Amino acid sequence: MNWEIFIAPYAQVVEELKIKLKGMRRQFEYEEEQSPIEFVTGRVKPKSSIIEKARRKAINPENIEEELQDIAGVRVVCQFVDDIYAVVNMLRNRHDFEIVEEKDYVSRKKDSGYRSFHVIIRYPVETIHGEKKVLAEIQIRTLAMNFWATNEHSLNYKYSGKIPTEIKSRLKRAGEAAFQLDEEMSKIKSEIQEAQRAFLRKEELKKNP
Residue 9 · residue 125 · CB < 8 Å = yes
- Residue 39-68 contact track with ligand 0O2, rule CB under 6 A, x = bound: ------x---x---x---------------
Residue 122 · residue 103 · CB < 8 Å = no
The one catalytic residue in 131, 137, 176, 203 is 137
Q: Does position 186 bind ligand 0O2 by CB under 6 A?
A: no
137 given a catalytic annotation: yes
Residue 141 · residue 75 · CB < 8 Å = yes
Residue 74 · residue 18 · CB < 8 Å = yes
Q: Does position 152 bind ligand 0O2 by CB under 6 A?
A: yes
DSSP 8-state assignment for residue 42? E
**Choices 10-18, 92-100, 109-117, 161-169; region in contact with ligand 0O2 by CB under 6 A:** 109-117
CA within 13 Å, CB half, 150: 11
| Cα–Cα distance measured from residue 78 to residue 71, given in angstroms and rounded to the nearest whole number | 22
Q: Does position 114 bind ligand 0O2 by CB under 6 A?
A: yes
**Choices 26-34, 106-114, 128-136, 189-197; region in contact with ligand 0O2 by CB under 6 A:** 106-114
Among 10, 12, 70, 175, binds ligand 0O2 (CB under 6 A): 70
| Cα–Cα distance measured from residue 175 to residue 74, given in angstroms and rounded to the nearest whole number | 22
| Active centre residues (catalytic) | 137
Binding site for ligand 0O2 (CB under 6 A): 45, 49, 53, 69-70, 103, 110, 112, 114, 118, 149, 152-153
